[in-house]
Amino acid sequence: MQNVVIVTGSGHGLPEKIIKEYGIILFPFGIHIGDEGFRDGVDITPEKMIKMIYDKKIVPKTSAPTIGDLVNILESIKNEGKSAVFVLMSSKLSAATYESLDNAKKKVGVDIEIIDTMQAAQGKELIVIEAAKLARAGKSMEEIVSHAKKVAARTNTILGIPNLKYLYYGGRIGRAKVLMGSMMKVIPIVAIRDMEGMISPVGRARNIFQVNQKIVDTMKEDLKKFNANKIKSIVIGHADNKEAAQSLKKIIEENINCEEMLEMEFGCAAIVHPGPKAWGAGYYIE
């Protein structure tokens, strides 16, 4: 019997099939495009958001989940007599989410644990899935939390970002890096690695193939660092760039021993900061 439910933020790419299979609960982030506001996954989809970005040439913004949405989720969990593990994106990237959740928890008074994955995008979703597998298997909250923390410590995410302006307007990088990337006509490569919880540059490349080769080279470096010969799980994701994602999948299959590989499209929240056409992978080395 499953007594623990996994809760996470919307918009990082979890497919509906996985959400239903594991009974994962999502709380919505706010999405703001110009003077219009939406609730991620409720009244806006990634396809709709990308079209609005292209049509209006506006850089979107996100906002933390509302206390009201979190209270509703917590009350439902409490009424069902269950416990919850919240698996969240890096606190360094969304401190306001943790503040909202803390306030909601105080209002409801329910048994929950919070995992700061120090990740985002596909890396975060990978950790969510690992936790959800144990929850569905009927494991205790302590077992789920312990495993999720272990996975988080050995999970990295690396992305190719064709247009740095989205990271700049989201406050993730400085203007100088945007200008440098534009002048050199390169694709910057960034990562969320080694439990730093922040976006850091790892290189740049001229084309999709070179970016994907750098991603694979980085995976190989991490395998050596962890003294491992295979990657347990890889999640490939993209924002309106299936060509790059498929190319990445192919080069990974040719060069990396991987036990499991999933493909996703970025959700709205994951698109906001890297922007359309971004792609990459999160990976867990057991």
What are the sequence ranges of the domains in the chain? 4-152, 155-284
Amino acid at 216: V
pTM of the complete model? 0.92
Tokens of 279: 């792609």
What distance lies between CA 158 and its chain's CA centroid? Answer: 11
CATH of 4-152, one of 3.40.50.10170, 3.40.50.720, 2.170.150.20, 1.10.760.10: 3.40.50.10170
What pLDDT, in 10s, does the model give residues 97-113?
999 999 999 999 888 99
| CATH architecture under which domain 155-284 falls | 2-Layer Sandwich (3.30)
Nearest Cα residue to 151 out of 199, 191, 116: 116
Read off the DSSP letter of residue 190. Answer: E
Q: In which element (H, E) is residue 211 found?
A: helix 208-225
Residues 6 or more apart from 65 whose CB is under 8 A from it?
Answer: 9, 27, 28, 29, 30, 97, 100, 101
* pLDDT score of 110: 85
Q: What percent of the chain is predicted at pLDDT more than 90?
A: 78
Neighbours of 33 (CB within 10 A): 19
Helices (H) and strands (E) in the chain, counts: 11, 13
Tokens of 42: 């409720």
Nearest Cα residue to 282 out of 30, 273, 270: 270
Work out the end-to-end distance of the chain between its first and last CA atoms, rounded to an integer number of angstroms: 27
* pLDDT score of 169: 54
The answer to whether 281 and 158 have CB atoms below 8 angstroms apart is yes
Q: In which element (H, E) is residue 33 found?
A: strand 30-33
Nearest Cα residue to 43 out of 31, 57, 26: 31
* pLDDT score of 2: 87
40-50 burial, b for 16+ CB within 10 Å, e for fewer? bbeebebeebb
Q: CA–CA distance from 129 to each of 6, 117, 182, 199 (Å)? A: 9, 12, 36, 22
Nearest Cα residue to 191 out of 276, 128, 282: 282
Phi then psi for 98, rounded to 5 degrees? -70, -35
pLDDT per residue rounded down to tens, the chain (286 residues): 789 999 999 988 999 999 999 999 999 999 999 899 999 989 999 999 999 989 988 888 999 999 999 999 999 999 999 999 999 999 999 999 999 999 999 999 888 999 999 999 999 999 999 999 999 999 999 999 999 999 999 999 999 988 766 665 544 444 434 434 444 578 889 999 999 999 888 888 989 999 999 999 999 999 999 999 999 999 999 999 999 999 999 999 999 999 999 999 999 999 988 889 999 999 999 9
* pLDDT score of 41: 87
Helix axes 141-153, 121-136, angle to 10 degrees: 150
Please give the Cα distance from 235 to 47 (Å, whole number).
20
Tokens of 36: 């219009």
Residues 6 or more apart from 226 whose CB is under 8 A from it?
Answer: 154, 285
Q: What angle do CA 100, 235, 159 make, to 5 degrees?
A: 80
